[in-house]
Amino acid sequence: MKCAPAAYRATRAATTQQVKNALVHTNDLRNLVPETIQGHPEVLPTLRMSTAPPIARDRLIGLAGVPGSLVHRLEKGKLPARMSETVLSENLARMCEVISLLLDEDVFPWLGSGIAPSDADRTRAATIVADRLCGAVADPIIRNAQEKRQLALIADFLERRHYRKQAHLRSEPLTSMEPGTFSFRMIVVVGSAKKVNIPIDVVIQPKVLRPNRLPVLIEAKSAGDFTNTNKRRKEEATKIHQLRQAYGPEIQLILFLCGYFDSGYLGYEAAEGLDWVWEHRIEDLRELGI
């Protein structure tokens, strides 16, 4: 309740400015032509959320009859590398036609009245569209904010115990990590025939090295309800299996949990040999020799 509203509002404020920029590029949606999207492909998500009802990517692809790869590339703010100017213009024209037919005149009343919008009109419309854009990705926004907060807590705990944050090259073995150091979002390479990069939230090398010299690996997890945890519980199980194949059964992956994790989730992870530390009991990390 403390973290999510602030994270959402901050993201919405930034997104509102992006929507206002899109309104400038399109002359307040009164000049929606292929050249606009070609010059500013990053406006496409805003255009999709400006219709009634808002259009998902796949629906726009189907209604406009355009290649899916084109829409996905435009959504990243890029133009297709191998599409001719003529074909690109034709596809963009079909997209503009669909979006123009479905524009939400309740949000953009000036489209029906023909009267130029005021700054207040633009701000109101931009906030509504930004809310639609953020609503589609609300869970990732909150999860990212929670992860940053959890990593900050772990960093504070370690630094109070005189650990140093220090990057560790992925080309170097885990066992060569310097004692008394930690790293965030480290890539650990596993696999022999086919190499796989596994992102790990926190890697800590204790001051007193273990006999196998392996550091402690931690995954930060937060959940605002019980629903998504059981959908995501296999992610950690897959990671620990891959890590054990590469480093042996002694490697340790710990879950740092905040929120709604029930006995079903915890039982599943325990059966896979995973242990956990609750965020509100962060001092339990000392049990790992840290």
Place of tokens 């962060």: 282
Q: In 137-206, which ranges are continuous DSSP H helix?
A: 138-160
Residue 272 near residue 243, CB atoms below 8 Å: no
**By C-alpha distance, which of 114, 134, 124, 138 is closest to 45?**
134
Sign of CA dihedral 147, 149, 150, 151: positive
pTM: 0.65
Q: For residue 196, what pLDDT is reported?
A: 84
Domain ranges of the chain: 3-136, 140-288
At 178 the three-state DSSP class reads coil
Query: What's the angle, vertex CA 271, arms to CA 228 and CA 187, rounded to 5?
Result: 65
Predicted confidence (pLDDT) per residue in 163-178, tens digit: 999 988 877 888 889 9
Residue 235 near residue 245, CB atoms below 8 Å: no
Taking the CB of residue 188, how many other CB atoms lie within 10 A of it? Answer: 21
> In residues, how long is the chain?
290
At 31 the three-state DSSP class reads coil
Query: Which of these CATH numbers, 3.10.350, 3.40.1350, 3.40.50, 3.10.20, describes 140-288?
Result: 3.40.1350
Residue 54 near residue 75, CB atoms below 8 Å: no
Q: For residue 226, what pLDDT is reported?
A: 63
Burial (CB < 10 A; 0-12, 13-18, 19+), residue 279, is middle
Cis bond leading into 53, ω under 30°? Answer: yes
Q: For residue 40, what pLDDT is reported?
A: 94
How sure is the predictor about 54, in pLDDT bands with cuts at 50, 70 and 90?
A: very high
Q: For residue 130, what pLDDT is reported?
A: 93
Tell me which H or E stretch contains 197.
Answer: strand 196-205
Q: Residue 235 pLDDT > 90, yes or no?
A: no
